[in-house]
Amino acid sequence: MEHTYQYSWIIPFIPLPVPILLGVGLLLFPTATKNLRRIWTFLSIFLLSIVMIFSLYLSIQQIFISCIHQNVWSWTINNEFSFEFGYFIDPLTSIMSILITTVGILVLIYSDNYMSHDQGYLRFFAYMGFFNTSMLGLVTSSNLIQVYFFWELVGMCSYLLIGFWFTRPVAANACQKAFVTNRVGDFGLLLGILGLYWITGSFEFQDLFEIFNNLILNNRVNLFFFTLCGFLLFVGPIAKSAQFPLHVWLPDAMEGPTPISALIHAATMVAAGIFLVARLLPLFIVIPYIMYIISLIGIITVLLGATLALAQKDIKRGLAYSTMSQLGYMMLALGMGSYRSALFHLITHAYSKALLFLGSGSIIHSMEAIVGYSPDKSQNMILMGGLTKHVPITKTAFLIGTLSLCGIPPLACFWSKDEILNDSLLFSPIFAIIACSTAGLTAFYMFRIYLLTFEGHLNTYFLNYSGKKSRSFYSLSLWGKEEEKKLNKNFGLVPLLTMNNTKRSSFFCNKTYKISNNVRNKIFITVENFGLNTRTFYYPHESDNTILFPILILLLFTLFIGAIGIPFNQEGIDFDILSKLFTPSINLLHNNSQNFVDWYEFLRNATFSVSIAFFGIFIAYCLYKPFYSSLLNLTLLNSFQKWNSKRIRWEKLINFVYNWSYNRGYIDAFFKTYLIESIRGLAKQTNFFDKRIIDGITNGVGITSFFVGEVTKYIGGSRISSYLFLYLSYVLVFLMILFFFYFEKF
Amino acid sequence: MYLVFTTNDFPWLTIIVVFPISAGSLMLFLPHRGNKVNKWYTICICILELLLTTYAFCYNFKMDDPLIQLSEDYKWINFFDFYWRMGIDGLSIGTILLTGFITTLATLAAFPVTRDSRLFHFLMLAMYSGQIGSFSSRDLLLFFIMWELELIPVYLLLAMWGGKKRLYSATKFILYTAGSSIFLLIGVLGISLYGSNEPTLNLELLANQSYPVTLEILFYIGFLIAFAVKSPIIPLHTWLPDTHGEAHYSTCMLLAGILLKMGAYGLVRINMELLPHAHSMFSPWLMVVGTIQIIYAASTSPGQRNLKKRIAYSSVSHMGFIIIGISSITDPGLNGAILQIISHGFIGAALFFLAGTSYDRIRLVYLDEMGGMAISIPKIFTMFTILSMASLALPGMSGFIAELIVFFGIITSQKYFLIFKILIIFVMAIGMILTPIYLLSMSRQMFYGYKLINVKNFSFFDSGPRELFLSISILLPIIGIGIYPDFVLSLASDKVESILSNYFYG
């Protein structure tokens, strides 16, 4: 067993060969690499499964003998400083690596189909492999420098993947925004690390905690500086986990491909912030005020994310704001000191949200064939509706995910969210009220998304949107110019799942195939195809099995992952896997009495939270069910007003909330007007200063000397007499000065 | 005290310094066949020189010895005691190897140059000699001569093969640098004539000499101005964007890769080593200037329309880290500065190379006219993305570790107050936020989007094997240093210690 730990440094390096080989291959031997495309996918899935098995083994070990393993190697040695690299295996690490690898494998399988018609298929897998490597490196890192190292690498992967479709200007802006916002967080993180190093002289987690506790006990440090360092350290997680002031990048990050949104921007990378705070919780607990700041930021994010999610038109943006809100819950839990429930929610939310994102990807994939390939159309919930009939399996999965996120009992998120709500009740009543009401809001907006997408009839054909349906060449060429359509037969998993194989080939693939094949010789048929397309109604199809398989697996996870946190009454001792894992590092500040679970209390709290969720669902149902054909929120509001005409104030409030949400809380606009414009202005001003003043002096000196020369030339006029005159006058001046000094001396 | 020079049996350094320029002058006798002969001849000379340098250093340089090695000492001019003194130590070995590497690659990058290729390649080789000479000279006057020797090739390269405003920028360059050389000369003469009847120019002897405080400060200011122009330190930087904006990209590679480093090298070699008291007096001000420089250049950069000028300002910003590292007077700080010298040599050269190659294709200089080039030149896009990541100090690349160590240098420095350190670090870290803004927006404006450029022949060639080889061979050391920084740090660490020991015991 000991040697297993010894070899666990290899965890981050196992997936690394794929991106390296792919990168080298794509640069040097593009055709050969592209011919092997499917093999690369299999290879990366295979390597990631090895990591999964390995980390599964590790965490099983951790359950029985919970201990921390650490090993470091020096990276740079100097007599004054040394950085070390190593691994640090504890329950948190093993849980996180299981999470990363399971979601990662499923997303890889999913994206094999999702991206199969993309020209950048291999580039995508290279980025994904690199992301997996750096994320695993992040969770296994043993000191703060190493955390920072991988923290930035993860951010870079996110940058590359958001800007994956680089021809889209929106994506280009989004990826830059994400990187710069994350850099603001890194700025804080780096300063915090340096500050801590200055105080303690160490980067290692264990040493850090010990030295810190000693210092606090002996009262030998400036508390203000302490708190400042803690806060700066917390800025990193704020940016990475999309907490309140720096959340602006997350919704824009949805410009990336959907599998990425599932893996990076819902399940793993955004959870890195939570991970870091959890890792450093022993540190944060001893610093005064910082826990309040964490929980305050958390609760603001919870509320803000939920309100912003209320009126999003884009399905992925809605989900992104929901992710933000849920991350706020985790941050809130950490701020309250309930380590266990935060991580529990991290796990359950990761699976549920990955399920939702993969489901939305499947929907987008099938909608694209009908409305076009621009994300404004294919992800627009207003154009969806009534998809229940057409995509039943995705619908079921999405519904389960939605219910789980709303907190309906047997599903995953219920267990964890319920715990957080309970803890917040113990922590502070105001926070509890906000958290509980936001649970209702969560149910509302999730069901709004669900109802707009799946209930009613397909809105595309009811609205006069067909005029806008023209597919621009640019979006078409982006998504697929694949010459050969590869049949997805070779999946060994396919026979296991009995599905409607007749509809397997999706509509779009067929069509492109025809176009690209018929352009040369059968032009008429192509035209006919197009004509056919506009006249008859095409309905979305269920996606391929390769897409559905990961969704179903995640569905299972969503159904059963809650079990790891449910206390089993076994042999008189309450026992659940999660507590078993987190016992040594558990840091419950306030409710130590949690050890013996009071079933009555649990039931009471659960009933309360479930009823709130049902209330939210009910309102969503009232608002959105009858008006499935409504195009804009305004019409919806009008009808709402008719239905309930008495309450003008209420309507105003709702209007305000919708405007608030639709304009993203005016925060983006605020940042744009103040921050970006001021930086631009600063750039202009410094540029002006540089050009006119600093450079102006130089040029001025040059021009002056030029003029002086010209004047001399003019005065001289190239006559000997004037030169002689000048010469003699200089001599005279010189003599006079000499004379003057001579007299002065004597 | 008289140091006995144990001259090695073979004058390696003299050969290394003299070989390129003498081989370059042999180019005159090559047949007038065309450019191909000149090109290949120069490339062969460069590679031979690089191999020679590596060989000599591999077998004759001992890492753990902070003293001068491979030293040579020949009397050159009798009547005023002028010696041909050469020698390397941990400080200069890295820069000499960098020079060899970058110059070879720059010659490779200059393949498309066809006009007057014989002169062009001769100038490249002359510059090679001048640079290695100034890095390896152990005599102040020899240092000055080599310093001047390398200005003339740059001036000619700029004035003959530059862009539209080449004469303006070449004149600006030569005025700035020649003007600063006056201060260098004054300093050299002043130091050498102080205190004795016959001039002492030997750096070893000078390092142990002490001066009256005012005189030391005067010398320091003189040298500082000379090196501040070269480095550049604000407000003496305006020659750099103009020069870089107009020069051919192979010249740019040399300028950004090596020439700027000569300023920083001079700061360490002369200002730190010879004038320790003045340096510790000036270092807080230098630190402030360096911090302002990081922010100032990083915020000027987004306002530039010209692609190369934007990269040029990014180099100015990165030079700020070197200045801060030098003026922190700590072991990590100086190590970080030296590492940053090497690392920015690679990164800056590579960025200019990529900007130049993409300019060769689209023939557009201004960023707002470009766009959507990623589709047609994906390989250049990839390399550009990787290198701009390297430039914004992504971990795993050399820039990150250099900047991190500089940060440590400030933190561990005993010299400054806490508040001062906090302020400096805070402002430096703001520069860390500004860097991605200009670098990434540059990459976005060039490559992202789908804007079709109004060029008749829209289809560009992606980078060929030569360009790919070039950019990958610059990239490899960047990643190598980033992953295993001891590679470079171990070269200089002993020398750094011996320099710093002056400050603690002197």
Summarize pLDDT for A271-289 with one digit per residue, the tens: 999 999 998 988 888 887 8
* Residues in chain A within 8 Å Cβ distance of B468: 27-28
DSSP code per residue over B324-356: HHHHT-SHHHHHHHHHHHHHHHHHHHHHHHHHH
Question: CB-based contact (8 Å) between A556 and chain B?
Answer: no
A689 and A542 both lie in a single domain: no
Closest chain A residue by Cα to residue B169: A699
Q: How far apart are CA B281 and CA B206, in angstroms?
A: 19
- Would A259 be classed as within a structural domain? no
pLDDT, greater one: A359 or A492 = A359
CA distance A261 to A571: 43
Residue in the structure block whose two tokens are 């707002």:
B368
pLDDT digit string, tens, across residues A695-713: 888 888 888 988 988 887 7
- The answer to whether residues A581 and A445 belong to one domain is yes
Residues of B in contact with A184 (CB under 8 A): 433
Amino acid at A591: N
B292 lies within 8 A of chain A by CB: no
Put simply, the answer to whether A683 touches B303 (Cβ < 8 Å) is yes
Is the pLDDT at A109 greater than 80, yes or no? yes
CB B188 within 8 A of CB B140: yes
Nearest to A478 by CA among A176, A178, A252, A170: A170
Q: Which of A626, A646, A681 is the last residue of a domain?
A: A626
Residue B205 confidence (pLDDT): 81
Q: In the beta sheet, which residues pair with residue A314?
A: A380
CA distances from A528 to A86, A467, A523, A531, B26 (A): 63, 19, 9, 5, 72
Q: In this predicted structure, what is the pLDDT of residue A238?
A: 93
B172: distance to nearest CA of chain A, Å?
A: 9
Distances (CA, A) of A292 to A287, A311, A427: 10, 30, 11
User: Does A411 reside within a domain?
Assistant: yes
The overall average pLDDT reported for chain A is 78
Sorting pLDDT into bands at 50, 70 and 90, what band is A603?
confident
Residue B219 sits at φ, ψ, to 5 deg, of: -60, -45
Asked if residue A25 belongs to a domain, the reply is: no
User: What is the pLDDT at residue A508?
Assistant: 37
pLDDT (0 to 100) of residue A178: 92
A186, amino acid identity: D
Q: In B, which residues are within 8 Å of A683 by CB distance?
A: 299-303
CB-CB contact of A241 with A206 (8 Å): no
| Number of folded domains that form chain B | 1
Give, in order, the Cα–Cα distances in Å from A189 to each of A273, A288, B35, B342: 11, 19, 54, 26
The answer to whether B284 faces chain A, any CB pair under 8 Å, is: no
Cis peptide before B66 (omega within 30 of 0): no
| Residue A573 DSSP label | E
Within a domain: B4: no
Q: Is residue A68 part of a domain?
A: no
Q: Is any Cβ of chain A less than 8 angstroms from the Cβ of B400?
A: yes
Higher pLDDT, B188 or A631: B188
Query: Which residues have C-beta within 8 Å of that of residue B454, sequence separation ≥ 6?
Result: none
Closest residue in A to B380 (Cα) is A27
Closest-CA residue of chain A to B402: A76
Residues A399 and A313 in one domain: yes
* Structure-token match 């000036």, residue found: B282
pLDDT value at A399 more than 80: yes
Sign of CA dihedral B379, B381, B382, B384: positive
Please give the angle made by the CA atoms of B364, B365 and B366, to the nearest 5 degrees. Answer: 105
pLDDT at A545 > cutoff 60: yes
Are residues A559 and A617 both part of a single domain? Answer: yes
Q: What is the pLDDT of residue A640?
A: 54
CB pairs under 8 A between A and B: 136
Chain A neighbors of B408, CB-CB under 8 A: 81, 194, 197
Q: Dihedral of CA A693/A694/A697/A702: which sign?
A: negative
Find the domain containing B312 and state its range: 10-503
Distance in angstroms (rounded) separating the CA atoms of residues B363 and B381: 16
Which of A274-288, A326-340, A630-644, B354-368 has the weakest average pLDDT?
Answer: A630-644
Whether residue B1 is contained in a domain is answered as no
Q: What is the dihedral of CA A297, A299, A305, A306, to 10 degrees?
A: -170
Q: Is the pLDDT of residue A630 over 50?
A: no
Q: Are A240 and A327 in contact (CB under 8 A)?
A: no
Cα of B299 to nearest chain A Cα, Å = 5
Q: Say if A193 falls within a structural domain.
A: no
A469 interfacial to chain B (CB closer than 8 Å): no
Q: Closest approach of chain B CAs to the CA of A118, in angstroms?
A: 14
Instruction: Give A216→chain B minimum CA distance, Å.
Output: 20
Amino acid at B225: I
> Can you spell out the DSSP letters for A7-65?
GGGGGGGTTTHHHHHHHHHHHH-HHHHHHTHHHHHHHHHHHHHHHHHHHHHHHHHHHHS
How far apart (Å, rounded) are the C-alpha atoms in residues A47 and A289? 44
Give the C-alpha distances (Å, rounded to integers) separating A636 from A456, A623, A627: 15, 8, 7
A406 and A315 part of one domain: yes
With cut-offs at 50, 70 and 90, classify the pLDDT of residue A638.
Answer: low
pLDDT of residue A148: 93
**Statement to judge: residues A671 and A610 lie in one domain:** no
pLDDT tens-place string over residues A289-323: 888 899 999 999 999 998 888 878 888 888 999 99
Same domain, A298 and A377: yes
Residue to test with chain A: of B305, B408, B417, B503, most A Cβ within 10 A: B408
Question: Residue B325: what pLDDT?
Answer: 93
Dmax of chain A from CA atoms?
A: 121
pLDDT at site B108: 92
Do the domain assignments include residue B154?
A: yes
- Tokens representing B12 are 């390696």
Which residues on A lie below 8 Å from B406 (Cβ)? Answer: none
| A619 and A563 in a common domain | yes
B38 min Cα distance to partner chain A (Å):
29
CB pair distance less than 8 Å for A690 and B300 = yes
Bridge partners of B73, per DSSP, are B85
Examine residue B5 and state whether it is found in any structural domain, yes or no: no
> Which tokens sit at A371?
């409305």
| CB contact B426 to A (< 8 Å) | yes
Helical pair B166-193 and B140-149, crossing angle rounded to 10 deg? 170
Q: Which two tokens stand for residue B30?
A: 């090559």
The two tokens of residue A354 are: 């990955």
Give the whole-angstrom CA distance, residue A476 versus residue A470: 11
Pairwise CA distance, residues B257 & B287, whole Å: 23
Which residues of B fall within a CB distance of 8 Å from A156?
389, 394
CA distance A409 to A418: 9
Contact B433 A152 (CB under 8 A): no
Tell me: pLDDT of A642 over 80: no
Interface touch A176/B440, C-beta < 8 Å: yes
- Name the residue in chain B with its Cα closest to that of A693: B235
In whole angstroms, what is the distance from residue B377 CA to residue A519 CA?
A: 27
**Position A525, amino acid:** I
Is the distance from CB of B159 to CB of B169 less than 8 angstroms?
no
Chain B residues inside the 8 Å CB shell of A76 = 401, 485-486, 489
How far lies B495's CA from each of A460, A488, B137, in Å?
A: 73, 63, 16
Q: Does A85 touch chain B (CB under 8 A)?
A: no
- Does the beta-carbon distance from B395 to A180 stay under 8 Å? no
Sequence-distant (6+) residues with CB within 8 A of A600 are: none
Backbone CA torsion sign across B194, B197, B203, B207: negative
Sign, CA dihedral A736-A737-A741-A742, equals negative
CA distance A177 to A162: 10
CA distance B165 to chain A (A): 14
Q: With helix as H, strand as E and coil as C, how does A58-123 read?
A: HHHHHHHCCCCEEEEEEEEECCCCEEEEEEEECHHHHHHHHHHHHHHHHHHHHHHHHCCCCCCHHH
Is the CB of B235 inside 8 Å of chain A's CB atoms?
A: yes
CA distance A183 to chain B (A): 6
Select the residue of B238, B299, B411 nearest A694 (Cβ to Cβ). Answer: B238
Residue A23 within a domain: no
For residue A746, name the pLDDT band (cuts at 50, 70, 90).
Answer: low
Do the chains contact at B485 and A150, CB–CB below 8 Å? Answer: no
A80 and chain B in contact, CB less than 8 A: yes
Report if residue B459 sits inside a domain: yes
pLDDT tens-digit readout, A477-532: 233 333 333 333 333 333 333 333 333 333 333 333 333 333 333 333 333 333 33
Q: Which residue of B has its CA nearest to A229?
A: B422
Contact by Cβ (8 Å): A137, A150 = yes
Please indicate if any CB of chain A lies within 8 Å of the CB of B63. no
Which of A626, A647, A677 terminates a domain? The answer is A626
How high is the pLDDT of residue A275? Answer: 92
Q: What is the pLDDT of residue A415?
A: 84
* DSSP element (H, E) containing B139: none
| pLDDT of res. A502 | 33
Q: Which domain holds residue A704?
A: 666-742
* Residue A64 belongs to a domain: no
Answer yes or no: is pLDDT of A342 > 80. Answer: yes
**What's residue A21's pLDDT?**
92
Q: Name the residue in chain A with its Cα closest to that of B239.
A: A695
> Using CA atoms, how far apart are residues A379 and A315, in angstroms rounded to an integer?
6
Instruction: Please list the residues that pair with A86 across neighbouring strands.
Output: A72
Per-residue pLDDT of chain B (506 residues; tens, 9 = 90+): 344 444 456 888 899 999 999 998 988 887 776 778 888 899 999 999 999 999 988 888 887 777 888 888 888 888 777 888 888 888 889 999 999 999 999 999 998 888 888 889 999 999 999 999 999 998 888 999 999 988 889 999 999 988 888 898 998 999 898 889 999 999 998 888 887 767 778 888 888 888 888 999 999 999 999 999 988 898 888 899 889 988 999 999 999 999 999 999 999 999 998 898 899 899 999 999 999 999 999 989 888 888 999 999 999 999 999 999 999 888 889 999 999 999 999 999 999 999 999 888 888 888 888 877 888 888 899 999 999 999 998 998 999 999 999 998 898 888 888 889 989 999 999 988 999 999 999 998 888 887 765 555 556 777 788 999 999 999 999 999 998 888 888 888 888 888 888 887 65
Return the C-alpha torsion angle B258, B264, B267, B273, nearest 10.
-80
User: Nearest CA of chain B to the CA of A679: how many Å?
Assistant: 8
Q: What is the ipTM of this complex?
A: 0.92
Residues 145-164 of A with CB under 8 A from B: 145, 148-150, 152-153, 156, 159-160, 163
Cβ–Cβ below 8 Å for A78 and B411: no
Q: CA-CA distance, B424 to A316, in Å (whole number)?
A: 42
pLDDT value, residue A370: 77
Alpha helices for B61-150 (secondary structure H): 90-109, 117-136, 140-149
Residues 6+ apart with CB under 8 A from A709: none
CA B357/CA B112 separation, integer angstroms:
10
Contact A232/B at CB under 8 A:
no
Tokens encoding A113:
């189909």
| A155/A71: higher pLDDT | A155
- Compute how many other C-beta atoms are within 10 angstroms of the C-beta atom of residue A214: 11
The structural domain count of chain A equals 2
* Closest in A76, A169, A197 to B486, CB measured: A76
A246, A185 Cβ separation under 8 angstroms: yes
Task: State whether residue B26 sits within 8 Å of chain A by CB.
Answer: no
Q: What is the pLDDT averaged over residues A337-361?
A: 89
Nearest by CB to residue A179, choosing from B436, B472, B486, is B436
- Write the secondary structure of B463-476 as one string of H (helix), E (strand) and C (coil): CCHHHHHHHHHHHH
First-to-last alpha carbon distance for chain A, in angstroms, is 101
Residue A409, pLDDT > 90, answer no
